[in-house]
Amino acid sequence: MDEFDEELREIKREIVESRGLVIKTNNLTSGLAADLKTITKRQQSFERVAFFNSAFAFLIFVGVVIGAVYVAWNARIESATRETKRSEDKAVKAEKELETLKDQLRERANAELAAAAFYELVRSGRRKEIIEGFAKLREQPLSRAELAVFTDAVERAKAELSVEAYQAGLDHARAGRLSEAAQQLEQSTKLASEGAHLPSAKLELARAYRRLNRQREAIPILSQLSETSPNPDVLDDATLLLAECLIDIQAYNDAKATLRSFVRRFPDSPLVNDAKMALANLNLKR
């Protein structure tokens, strides 16, 4: 009986211990479940943060890539635009140069036609037309050689016409047609800037002016001839005629000075006696 009670107590004790173990196990299981829930929530929260971080990083990466592509694309477009602009500018410049070249060729062709026509005038000896046409011809883009040749032809034509006008002026003067003589001699001196006949033509023009009572127009011509004439044969004539014109306009002091200069400069001139007589007459008057 005592052994049976002992066994019952042992069984009760084991049952109590088993219940305690079960309770502990349940408590541990409940704590473990709570820990698992906490860990799960933390893991889920971490995963959400990691997801959002990854998404944000991805978005930043995509933005950077898009920005880089945009910048590169704009740079390429700008480069292409500049290249296109340069090409357009080159095309416009080339077109202008082509137009300029065409204009130059056209002008040169016109100049050659004008030069050929002017050369025909030179060959035919139409001197007046040569002189009149040269002013218009000079507007053409002639070469230096063409311009030199045609300039010589014009100067030659002027010299020939000047000589003809000089001869015509002498003929009119001999015939007493003083106005016509003056016109021809004026034309002779205007046509040519140099020539052996020019000093004589100027002297004859001054004589015609004096005979027409135009001494004030003759005096500047004679003053120049008496000082710097390239023809020494007209120096004494021009000086004496200058003195006579000065006497005509009653510029007696200047006339005396001119006559004294004549006597001093041209003591061997056949006109020296006329000069001395004129000077003596002036001294008597004054």
Q: What is the mean pLDDT of each run of 10 residues along the chain (286 residues)?
A: 68 72 74 73 72 73 77 79 80 79 71 67 70 70 75 79 88 90 89 82 91 92 82 84 91 90 89 89 78
Give pLDDT, residue 219: 92
The answer to the question of residue 280 being in a domain is yes
Enclosing domain of residue 274: 213-286
CB 114 within 8 A of CB 139: no
Number of domains in the chain: 1
The answer to the question of residue 22 being in a domain is no
Check which CATH number belongs to the domain holding 284 and give it.
1.10.220
Q: What is the pLDDT of residues 170-204, one digit of tens each?
A: 899 899 898 999 999 888 888 877 778 888 889 89
Give pLDDT, residue 158: 80
CB 271 within 8 A of CB 243: no
Give pLDDT, residue 23: 76
Write out the DSSP string of the chain.
-HHHHHHHHHHHHHHHHHHHHHHHHHHHHHHHHHHHHHHHHHHHHHHHHHHHHHHHHHHHHHHHHHHHHHHHHHHHHHHHHHHHHHHHHHHHHHHHHHHHHHHHHHHHHHHHHHHHHHHHHHHHT-HHHHHHHHHHHTTS---HHHHHHHHHHHHHHHHHHHHHHHHHHHHHHHTT-HHHHHHHHHHHHHH-SS-TTHHHHHHHHHHHHHHTT-HHHHHHHHHHHHHH-S-GGGHHHHHHHHHHHHHHTT-HHHHHHHHHHHHHH-TT-TTHHHHHHHHHHHHHH-
The answer to the question of residue 183 being in a domain is no
DSSP for residue 233:
G
Give pLDDT, residue 38: 78
The answer to the question of residue 168 being in a domain is no
Distance CA 221, CA 201 (A): 11
CB 106 within 8 A of CB 141: no
Give pLDDT, residue 139: 65
Distance CA 203, CA 210 (A): 11
Give this prediction's pTM. Answer: 0.58
Residue 81 has φ and ψ, to the nearest 5°, of -65, -45
The answer to the question of residue 173 being in a domain is no
* C-alpha pair distances (Å), 97 with each of 93, 103, 239, 270: 6, 10, 63, 72
Give pLDDT, residue 1: 57
Give pLDDT, residue 211: 92
